[in-house]
Amino acid sequence: MNIEELIWTPENEEHIAEHQVTPAEIEELFFEEGPYFRRGPGENLYHIYGCSGAGRFLFVVMIHLGRGKGYVVTARDMDKQERRLYGKRAKRSSRKEG
C-alpha cells in the first residue's frame, strides 16, 4: 500500500493524544520505519503495526482514502500478541531483504 499523506484533524489528533501518541510518531512510523499493513474489518480499513525511531511499538487503525491518503482513526501501544505478530513479520521481511 502506498500512503503519501496522512490526514490530520483536531478530532483524530485529540483521540490519539488520549493514548499518549503524537502525529509525529505516526508520521515517522509510516514514512521512515516501514510498517506492516493488515486489512481490517471493512473495505478501506487497515491495521498498521510498526516501531517508531525511539523504539515504541505502535498499533494504528487507518482508513485508506485513496490517492495515497490515509486518515488515522486511532493509535496506541501494541499489546503482547500484536508485538509477537509484528516481530514475526519483521523477521520474515529481514530474511527476504538479506
Q: Which three cell numbers stand for residue 78?
A: 501494541
Query: What band does 91 get if pLDDT is binned at 50, 70 and 90?
Result: low
Structural domains of the chain, count? 1
Q: Which three cell numbers stand for residue 80?
A: 503482547
Query: What's the predicted TM-score (pTM) here?
Result: 0.86
Task: Give the N- to C-terminal CA distance of the chain in Å, as an integer.
Answer: 22
Mind listing the pLDDT tens digit for each residue in 36-85? Answer: 898 988 789 999 999 988 889 999 999 999 999 999 999 999 999 999 98
**What DSSP string describes 29-45?**
HHHTS-PEEEE-SSTTE
Q: Is the dihedral of CA 28, 31, 37, 39 positive or negative?
A: positive
pLDDT above 60 for 94: no
* Domain assignment of residue 35, given as a range: 5-97
Looking at residue 38, which CATH number applies to its domain?
3.10.450
